[in-house]
């Protein structure tokens, strides 16, 4: 391709919200064999919503939700945002809550009702931990509970398995070393996701899903979207290893992701595509930025490269 063709393609991309960082990135996209998709916020809308919450001890439901929300208050994770929203809604808008109707301005609901949490830490791929009222609280997945020596009863296990089989993420809560409750979080697929996966397959490109979420939820989501190759329970650093193993035989690999977690994988990929508002760090690590947050632009990007480097010479 001539420099002019590259310039034209870059302009066409920009008009479609596909920002291409240089001619090399544009050239590599035509040869992509695998496109690795992050699940949360990439294939899914990233708009997690709590669909169920269950307390397994005698703890009051409102008390439980306040505790969990307080533990998640310092987390940037979409799951944390969903939990806070749910707890806030329970306390201020739910008729069955004693506090209902005490506040009407949504801005006022941001804080004031939460407990103070100390020694907060976000545990990548696991959840969060902190102390409330001097007691340890853990909010996250099975791995977090198992590693912390928390006993998971059959009742809790069954509840979580049922959530996961319906493509939801199960979040467990342990307070003062007791498994207190669990929540189910749903995050719907982007509307165009299944069509884009089918489109890539028709182009001879193999889609793969990689996620930190558990195997059961991952398989359910992959099935819904039409992806056969799934890698689940991958720690943030592990996403880059998945990319490297696919590159082993010389295959050209693209990675599509949105979050901080995805930056190492975006950087490791031959073609890194940051999607959506993304985080600055993901955008920095990527070769492409898909501004419209629409997965169709993955196809647009590959098409643009193929057209620029084969037809237009």
Tell me, yes or no, if 119 is annotated catalytic.
no
Q: Assess 272 for contact with ligand ADP (CB under 6 A).
A: no
Q: How far is the CB of 145 from Mg ion (least distance, A)?
A: 22
Element (H, E) at 298: helix 296-306
Q: Assess 199 for contact with ligand ADP (CB under 6 A).
A: no
Name which of 234 and 304 has its Cβ closer to ligand ADP.
234
Rounded Cα distance, 258 and 168, in Å: 20
Rounded Cα distance, 66 and 141, in Å: 19
- Mention every residue, 6+ apart, whose C-beta is less than 8 A from residue 10: 20, 23, 26
Question: Cα–Cα distances in Å, from 304 out to 5, 147, 300, 312?
Answer: 11, 47, 6, 11
> Which one of 79, 268, 301, 304 is in contact with ligand ADP (CB under 6 A)?
79
DSSP 3-state of 170: strand
Tell me the per-residue interface mask from 32 to 71 with ligand ADP, x by CB under 6 A, - otherwise: ------xxx-------------------------------
Rounded Cα distance, 84 and 73, in Å: 7
CB atoms within 10 A of CB 61: 15
Rounded Cα distance, 214 and 303, in Å: 33
Name which of 38 and 297 has its Cβ closer to Mg ion.
38
139 binds, among ligand ADP, Mg ion, none (CB under 5 to 8 A by kind): ligand ADP
Hey, which residues does 38 pair with through a beta bridge?
210
Q: How far is the CB of 261 from ligand ADP (least distance, A)?
A: 5
Residues known to be catalytic? 38
Which residue ranges make up the site for Mg ion (CB under 5 A)? 38, 40-41, 258-259
Which residue ranges make up the site for ligand ADP (CB under 6 A)? 38-40, 72, 75, 77, 79-80, 125-128, 139-141, 169, 171, 211-213, 236, 259, 261
């Amino acid at each position: 391709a001539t420099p002019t063709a590259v310039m034209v393609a870059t302009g066409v991309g920009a008009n479609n919200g596909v920002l291409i960082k240089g001619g090399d990135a544009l050239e590599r996209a035509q040869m992509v064999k695998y496109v690795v998709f992050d699940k949360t916020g990439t294939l899914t809308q990233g708009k997690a919503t709590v669909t169920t919450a269950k307390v397994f001890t005698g703890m009051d439901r409102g008390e439980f939700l306040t505790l969990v929300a307080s533990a998640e208050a310092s987390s940037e994770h979409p799951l944390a945002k969903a939990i806070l929203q749910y707890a806030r809604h329970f306390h201020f808008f739910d008729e069955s809550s004693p506090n209902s109707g005490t506040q009407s301005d949504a801005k006022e609901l941001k804080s004031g009702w939460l407990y103070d949490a100390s020694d907060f830490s976000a545990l990548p791929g696991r959840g969060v931990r902190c102390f409330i009222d001097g007691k340890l609280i853990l909010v996250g997945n099975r791995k977090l509970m198992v590693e912390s020596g928390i006993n998971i009863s059959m009742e809790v296990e069954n509840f979580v398995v049922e959530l996961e089989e319906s493509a939801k993420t199960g979040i467990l809560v342990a307070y003062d070393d007791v498994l207190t409750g669990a929540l189910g979080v749903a995050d719907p697929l982007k509307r165009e996701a299944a069509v884009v996966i089918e489109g890539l397959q028709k182009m001879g490109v193999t889609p793969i899903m990689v996620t930190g979420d558990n195997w059961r939820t991952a398989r359910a989501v992959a099935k819904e979207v039409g992806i056969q190759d799934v890698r689940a329970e991958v720690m943030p650093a592990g996403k880059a290893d998945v990319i490297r193993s696919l590159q082993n035989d010389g295959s050209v690999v693209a990675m599509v992701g949105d979050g901080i977690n995805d930056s190492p994988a975006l950087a490791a990929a031959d073609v890194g595509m940051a999607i959506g508002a993304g985080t600055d760090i993901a955008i920095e690590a990527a070769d492409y930025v898909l501004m419209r947050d629409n997965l169709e632009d993955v196809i647009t990007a590959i098409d643009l490269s193929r057209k620029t480097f084969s037809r237009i010479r």
